[in-house]
């Protein structure tokens, strides 16, 4: 039987009318505040190691590796593989991402396993005869899929930096796929809400929707096809995915659904080791993602702008106005300049220079809030659906990992017989430069489609180092899913800790806002902001739009004085912080 499930004892009847995700987490937050707020908002504390991810079983898989003598990389790889089983919305084998590693001895490395355009991809492949974008062409189906990088990236990290070995870190994921796990309320709701996408493809409909007999909370979700794939990877290594039996299954699915990824594309794919971007903010060192992510560049650009300013109180008109203006300028620059630096020239030095930030800061302080904003000239200063998890081990080594299928459940296509979903990462290219993608992000010529190019990403895995010592210890490990909102979520949580002096649980829980230049509007969460502050923003000329939730953040904070680790899973998610 494929994708079979056995009935457990659900906590309550769930009919067709499931509560919206935003209402659920906001209700939970309200109950927490009205009840034992002190206990609820305390972060999870641990003396040795901490793992925070979007799903409880995956967090526990990471701690299992730490208890077995593994380091932060072993734990991070195990979490990534487990999420491929328990968090199909974004956890994946068929997607890609970035892993940022910092060693307590002082050095860092960035593992780029971003997906890659197939060799047959063309600049105008998603345009019709009139040169207009074909709706859905870059989002749904096998033609939306780029060459997956997750297996190669996790394997490279484990084989280069782990202690326990590839076969060992696969064990929790194999166990979860073969034996199954109880479906949470959030997963049951998510699968039901995705039926419009998953129901279009027979294999996806069978495994994830049980042919219309939707999973209820408490039922056990077993995935024998995915278990077999993981066992192939354990027995034969990552080459099974790129050249062996799993590759053959991918090719059969590509042929059936007219995808462009070829056997040669799979065989040629390589994860890459890069140097992280390095910035500074009020004495702290910021390590973040280089191109082909735009995340680190935009984050450091915004921090440079804001560093010397008095931000006042969190979520006040003064602080929000300054942060919104920094966001507008960083996202305008993102659209104009960012892409895969292996293919195009990206002015990283200029965009992240303090001199450029000073120019933008002066512009912000002199301009009216309703004045239009465009890309700057960083070259003057010259001399890239998602889930995130954070890991710290007993030695102080840290991993921030963000990976993705792009849209929730990716392209909707499950590789037949293999049990995993394919990404729709081609939508992260500029199908037509100047035209928004599914997240509303406008992107330029630097991110046009080209064979074997990696699409621009917003993923922003980030590690903050302390402000003292020759080899300052890790202070924060964080990141976020959320498409175009990722960078701003990381910015806000980071500032909540470093500038507004919140603990990590408060920082992750605080309400969020977002501006990405185009559309030029400020998106605010429906709860937590003062009505007076929102009215002042409107009076200043900002166009506001409410949203039930913005992103999520799974983060770890380390107390510099005691070394205690504090983990916080975002209440907007179904995640869990687990320490030991």
pLDDT higher than 60, residue 79 = yes
Give the pairing of strands 277-281 and 522-525: unpaired
Q: State the pLDDT at residue 377.
A: 86
**Burial class for 167, CB neighbours closer than 10 Å (0-12, 13-18, 19+):** middle
Cα 22 off chain centre by: 19
* 108 CB-side CA count, 13 A: 27
Q: State the pLDDT at residue 205.
A: 98
**Burial class for 123, CB neighbours closer than 10 Å (0-12, 13-18, 19+):** middle
Entry pTM: 0.93
Return d(Cα 413, Cα 430) in angstroms, integer.
Answer: 22
pLDDT in tens, 3-13: 433 323 222 22
Taking residues 66-80, report their average pLDDT.
98
- Could you tell me the two tokens for 551? 């992103």
Q: Is the dihedral of CA 515, 520, 526, 527 positive or negative?
A: positive
Give the confidence band of 325 by pLDDT, cuts at 50, 70, 90: very high
Q: State the pLDDT at residue 40.
A: 52
Q: State the pLDDT at residue 468.
A: 80
The residue among 572, 538, 534, 537 whose CA lies nearest residue 555 is 572
pLDDT in tens, 11-37: 222 233 333 344 444 444 443 333 333
pLDDT higher than 90, residue 379 = no
Residues 6+ apart with CB under 8 A from 206: 2, 3
Q: Is 386 a catalytic residue?
A: yes
Taking residues 440-468, report their average pLDDT.
93
pLDDT in tens, 275-318: 999 999 999 999 999 999 999 999 999 999 999 999 999 999 99
pLDDT higher than 60, residue 542 = yes
Q: State the pLDDT at residue 178.
A: 98
Q: State the pLDDT at residue 369.
A: 81
**DSSP H or E segment with residue 221:** strand 220-221
**Mean pLDDT of all residues belonging to the chain:** 92
Return d(Cα 144, Cα 24) in angstroms, integer.
Answer: 32
Q: Are 228 and 177 in contact (CB under 8 A)?
A: no
Q: Is the dihedral of CA 133, 138, 140, 142 positive or negative?
A: positive
pLDDT in tens, 165-191: 999 999 999 999 999 999 999 999 999
Q: Is the dihedral of CA 349, 350, 354, 360 positive or negative?
A: negative
Portion of the chain with pLDDT greater than 90, in percent: 86
* 3-class secondary structure, 74: helix
* Active-site residue identified among 86, 352, 386, 462: 386
């Amino acid at each position: 039987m494929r994708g079979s499930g056995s009935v457990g004892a659900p906590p309550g009847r769930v009919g067709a009318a499931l509560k919206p995700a935003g209402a659920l987490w906001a209700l939970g937050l309200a109950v927490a505040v009205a009840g034992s707020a002190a206990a609820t908002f305390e972060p999870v504390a641990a003396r040795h190691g901490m793992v925070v991810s979007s799903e409880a079983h995956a967090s526990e898989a990471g701690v299992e590796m730490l208890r077995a003598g593994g380091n932060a990389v072993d734990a991070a790889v195990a979490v990534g593989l487990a999420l491929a089983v328990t968090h199909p919305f974004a956890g994946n084998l068929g997607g890609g991402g970035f892993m940022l590693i910092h060693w307590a001895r002082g050095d860092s490395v960035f593992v780029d396993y971003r997906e890659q355009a197939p060799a047959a991809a063309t600049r105008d492949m998603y345009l019709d005869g009139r040169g207009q974008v074909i709706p859905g062409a870059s989002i749904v189906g096998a033609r939306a899929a780029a060459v997956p990088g997750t297996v190669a990236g996790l394997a490279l990290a484990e084989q280069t930096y782990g202690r326990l070995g590839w076969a060992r870190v696969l064990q929790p994921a194999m166990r979860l796929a073969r034996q199954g796990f109880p479906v949470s309320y959030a997963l049951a709701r998510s699968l039901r809400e995705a039926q419009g996408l998953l129901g279009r493809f027979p294999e996806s409909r069978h495994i994830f929707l049980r042919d219309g007999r939707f999973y209820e909370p408490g039922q056990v979700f077993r995935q024998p096809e995915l278990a077999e794939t993981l066992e192939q990877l354990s027995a034969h290594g990552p080459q099974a995915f790129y050249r062996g039996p799993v590759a053959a299954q991918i090719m059969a699915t590509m042929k059936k659904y007219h995808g462009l990824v070829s056997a040669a594309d799979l065989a040629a794919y390589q994860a890459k080791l890069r140097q992280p971007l390095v910035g500074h903010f009020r004495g702290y060192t910021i390590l973040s993602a280089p191109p082909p992510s735009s995340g680190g560049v935009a984050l450091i650009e915004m921090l440079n702008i804001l560093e010397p300013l008095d931000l006042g109180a969190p979520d006040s008109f003064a602080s929000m106005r300054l942060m919104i203006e920094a966001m507008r300028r960083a996202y305008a620059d993102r659209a104009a300049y960012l892409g895969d630096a292996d293919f195009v020239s990206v002015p990283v030095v200029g965009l992240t220079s303090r001199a450029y930030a000073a120019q933008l800061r002066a512009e912000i302080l002199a301009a009216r809030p309703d004045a239009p904003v465009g890309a700057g000239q960083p070259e003057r200063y010259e001399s890239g659906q998602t889930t995130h998890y954070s890991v710290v081990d007993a030695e102080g080594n840290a991993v921030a990992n963000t990976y993705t299928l792009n849209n929730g459940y990716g392209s909707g296509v499950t590789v037949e017989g293999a049990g995993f979903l394919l990404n729709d990462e081609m939508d992260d290219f500029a199908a037509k430069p100047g035209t928004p993608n599914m997240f509303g992000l406008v992107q330029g010529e630097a991110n046009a489609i080209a064979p074997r190019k990696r699409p621009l990403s917003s993923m922003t895995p980030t590690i903050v180092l302390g402000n003292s010592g020759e080899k300052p210890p890790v202070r924060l490990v964080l990141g976020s899913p959320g498409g175009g909102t990722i960078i701003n979520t990381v910015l806000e949580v980071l500032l909540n800790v470093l500038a507004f002096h919140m603990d990590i649980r408060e920082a992750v829980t605080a309400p969020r806002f977002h501006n990405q230049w185009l559309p030029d509007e400020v998106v605010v969460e429906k709860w937590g902001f003062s009505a007076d502050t929102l009215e002042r923003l409107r009076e200043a000329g900002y166009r506001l739009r409410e949203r039930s939730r913005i992103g999520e953040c799974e983060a770890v904070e380390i107390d510099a004085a005691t070394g205690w680790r504090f983990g916080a899973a975002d209440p907007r998610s179904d995640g869990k912080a687990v320490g030991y």
